[in-house]
Amino acid sequence: MTAKPIGQSEFQSDSGPGVVMNPDRTSLGAHALHLACKGVAAPIIRNYPIRPATMPVARVVVDRLAALRPGGSGVEREQVRLRGFRMEILRPAGARRSLRDGVVMYMHGGGFFLCGLDSHRPVAASLARRTGLPVVNVEYRQMPSASIAGSIQDCLTAYRWLLSHGADPARTVFAGDSAGGFLTFATALRSARSGLPGPAGLVGLSPLLDLEYRDKADYVNVDRDAYIPWSQVRQMVRYGAEDGRRLDPELSPVNGALGGLPPALLIVGEDELLRYDCELMARRLTAAGVPNALELWRGQVHAFPSVLPNLPESRAALARVARFVRARIESEEVARTA
Measured distance CA(139)–CA(243) in Å, rounded = 25
Cis peptide before 253 (omega within 30 of 0): no
**From 147, 178, 206, 314, the catalytic residue:** 178
Catalytic residue among 34, 108, 120, 302: 302
- Catalytic, 302? Answer yes
Q: Which residues contact 333 (CB under 8 A, 6 or more apart)?
A: none
Q: How far apart are CA 36 and CA 65, in angstroms?
A: 14
306 is catalytic: no
Q: Would you call 108 a catalytic residue per the annotation?
A: no
- Which amino acid is located at 210 in the chain? D
Q: Please tell me which residue in 88, 272, 279, 295 is annotated as part of the active site.
A: 272
- Measure the CA dihedral 331/336/337/338, to 10°: 80
- Give the separation between CA 229 and CA 220, rounded to whole angstroms: 13
* CB-based contact 20:292 (threshold 8 Å): no
d(CA 201, CA 170): 9
Cα separation, 238 vs 172, whole angstroms: 32
Find, among 211, 24, 7, 206, the residue nearest to 123 by Cα.
206
Q: Which sequence positions are flagged as catalytic? A: 178, 272, 302
